[in-house]
Chains A and B, each alone.
Chain A
Amino acid sequence: MNPFFQMRHVTRRFGGLEAVGDFSITLERGELVGLIGPNGAGKTTTFNMMTGMLRPTAGDIIWKGENITRLPPHLITAKGIARTFQNIKLFSDMSVVENIMVSCHYSIDSSFLAAMLGLPKHKREEKRIREHSLKCLEEAGLAHLASERAQNLPYGLQRKLEIVRAIATRPGMLLLDEPVAGMNPTEKIELSAFIRRIREKSGITILLIEHDMKFVMNICQRIRVMNYGRSIAEGTPDEISSNPEVISAYLGDTPHAQD
């Protein structure tokens, strides 16, 4: 049987720099996996390749048995891989519900001509999209903010809205790039509960990049560690936290440097 999602020996070079080298990973349906590593390890580059924003120099990316290595980002999203960004990328000057409604654009079933002429079919589509978006907001507890402009939300809610926006594309796999970066402890606890809830309810696979070790160890079933573009370890949170290679990658591999 085909794996749910697989990267096979993927490499990405920027000129002479190998940002990601010979990276392979397999994810099963419903897993919650963490991707960690020091700054510059190639984690975000990996995400960019998974979502089609960057093309790998070599290697293949397989999604539900289909090779998606060379597909453009919008088609990959339509196939069921959604993501959030390390630095928040909301549509700031649009309302909260409009932010979500953009996620349904790929599924719109009426043509632009129907939209321009105001045909009933288009009105039905608009209604379907608006209702779906409002439902997504309601499930996330953001319904009361629907008509607020996205840039006016507090930081924590902006991060949350970005996740909701990604979920609104009805993905099979969700990629979260540093979801709790810059959050305070309360917001972190709330968000980890929110992520757990999404996973339990919709059973989607989640892969997340995070620097907050407590958060990662707490929430992930499996952790993959990268350093200098290479995969250096994989295992359960307990295995990873006691892995000497991981510790040296984070703390430097010259134990006598302080002497």
Chain B
Amino acid sequence: MSDKFKSRLNVASLFLLFGLLFLFNRYGSGYQIRILNNIGVFITLAVSYNLINGVCGLLHLGPNGFIAIGAYTSALLSMTPAEKQLNFILGQVIWPLSVIHVPFVVSLIAAGIAAAFFAFLISFPVLRVRGDYLAIVTLGFGEVVRVLCNAGERVTNGPLGLKGLYPHTNLWWSWGVATLAVVVIQRLIDSNYGLAMKAIREDEDAARAMGVNPFRSLMLAFLISAFFSGIAGGLLAHLITTISPALFTFFLTFNLLIMIVVGGLGSTTGAIIGAVLFSWGGEALRIVEQPMEIGSFTIPGIPGMRMVIFSLVLMLVILFASKGIMGRNELSWDYLESKFARFRGTKTPQ
């Protein structure tokens, strides 16, 4: 397949995606739009998280910290001074934040930069260690950010959180950012920079001996991942319209981890599938909690049943596809072509 044809297919599928979004935006129910928004935000989060855990092979457990930083930065910058005055009951917000008010898009970029700045700071201690130790250090970072959000009343309004944010996040924002994140991050993974990251995952000593500077490559992954996590955090804040430290517990990281493991660690496609399954599947399974009649049996609605089924599905995925749904494969046009060729029984074109 020629490159030109592939790029045409890419453009066509983008048109298809945004055409569908347009239809949903116009005719879909509020509930459907809400789920689609969630999916968009979680695709961004999962794909950027996968860059560190899947591609670089580091067990990073602190994305909730970056998301929190992004969410608070974006929220504090996009709220009007009057809204801030209403929110901060315990003590007024400190000076520069009390008067700043910027457009949503600027607040999102600032959210990304703030998260990346913190990633830069913590990468010095974090990237000195590997494996379990790295997991513990990043886990600690996520907790520290949450506790600071709880304690910094003059900045974050403490446990009360920030309420009444303007719901800026719509389908165009959430899916626009998701598309941008997927394209940009996948380009990085496919480039020589991505190769260096994978080489570090496979064998760090060999990578160093081949001239790869692990610190630089991993820091790059860390910054980019944090940047997009921060932006997604800002989108999340303006989607839920209320943020508090309780939103950014380790549970958020844990959900992201499930998404990328189920989808296939190291595969962007897998991260997308994981994010879709997780955000949409949880909602779709609500029907099992309603009373059902199968033949002469009547099953009463059992609250919590969907979590049981959800866990069962997760177990089945891991049992039958131990490397996740996609493994480390990507759903590219070439991949589809080769699958199709095998299906037709013809020889795979080289």
Q: Which residues of A line the B interface, CB within 8 A?
A: 51, 53, 72-74, 77-78, 82-83, 85, 89-94, 98, 101-108, 112, 115-118, 122, 125-126, 129, 165-166, 169
Contacts and interface: CB of A to CB of B under 8 A. Distances in A.
28 contacts: A53-B208, A74-B208, A74-B211, A77-B209, A78-B211, A85-B205, A89-B206, A91-B198, A91-B203, A91-B206, A92-B202, A93-B328, A94-B198, A102-B195, A102-B207, A105-B192, A105-B193, A105-B195, A105-B212, A112-B188, A112-B191, A115-B188, A116-B184, A116-B187, A116-B188, A117-B187, A125-B192, A166-B209
A91 B202 contact: yes
A93 to B, nearest CB: 6
B77 interface: no
Contacts of A51: 209
Contacts of B211: 74, 77-78, 103, 105-107, 169
A188 B83 CA distance: 77
B52 interface: no
B199 A102 contact: yes
Interface in B185-239: 185, 187-188, 191-193, 195-196, 198-199, 202-203, 205-214, 220, 224
A254 to B, nearest CB: 39
A115 B220 CA distance: 12
Nearest to A85: B206
> Could you say which interface size class chain B belongs to?
20 to 34
Nearest to B205: A89
> Nearest 7 CB-CB pairs, A to B?
A106-B211, A115-B191, A91-B202, A89-B206, A77-B211, A73-B208, A102-B199
Most chain A Cβ neighbours within 10 Å, of B203, B207, B211, B212: B211
Contacts of A106: 210-213
Contacts of A169: 210-211
Contacts of A72: 208, 213
A203 B203 CA distance: 29
Interface string B267-309: 0000000000000000000000000000000000000000000
Contact of A126 (B191, B202, B203, B214): B191
A115 B193 contact: yes
A72 to B, nearest CB: 7
Nearest to B214: A74
A77 B192 contact: no
A247 to B, nearest CB: 34
A115 B190 CA distance: 9
A103 B220 contact: no
Interface of A is mostly: helix
Contacts of A102: 192, 195-196, 199, 207, 210, 212
Contacts of A107: 211
Contacts of B187: 115-118
Contacts of B213: 72, 74, 106
B188 A101 contact: no
Given A53-B209, A85-B209, A103-B210, 7 more contacts: A53-B205, A78-B211, A91-B206, A94-B199, A102-B192, A102-B196, A126-B191
Contacts of A82: 209-210
A104 B202 CA distance: 17
Contacts of A98: 195, 198
Given A98-B195, A102-B195, A105-B192, A74 B205 contact: no
B195 A94 contact: yes
A90 B206 contact: yes
Interface in B84-103: none
A120 B195 CA distance: 19
Nearest to A115: B191
A125 B195 CA distance: 14
B194 to A, nearest CB: 8
A73 B204 CA distance: 11
Contacts of A122: 191
A166 B210 CA distance: 7
A137 B205 CA distance: 22
B85 to A, nearest CB: 40
A17 B6 CA distance: 60
Most chain A Cβ neighbours within 10 Å, of B199, B203, B214, B328: B199
Contacts of A112: 188, 191, 193, 220, 224
A165 B187 CA distance: 24
Nearest to B185: A116
B332 to A, nearest CB: 14
Nearest to B212: A105
Contact of B192 (A92, A108, A116, A165): A108
B307 to A, nearest CB: 34
A116 B223 CA distance: 13
Contacts of B184: 116-117
Contacts of B210: 77, 82, 102-103, 105-106, 165-166, 169
A163 to B, nearest CB: 12
Nearest to B213: A74
Most chain B Cβ neighbours within 10 Å, of A98, A105, A166: A105
Contacts of A115: 187-188, 191-193
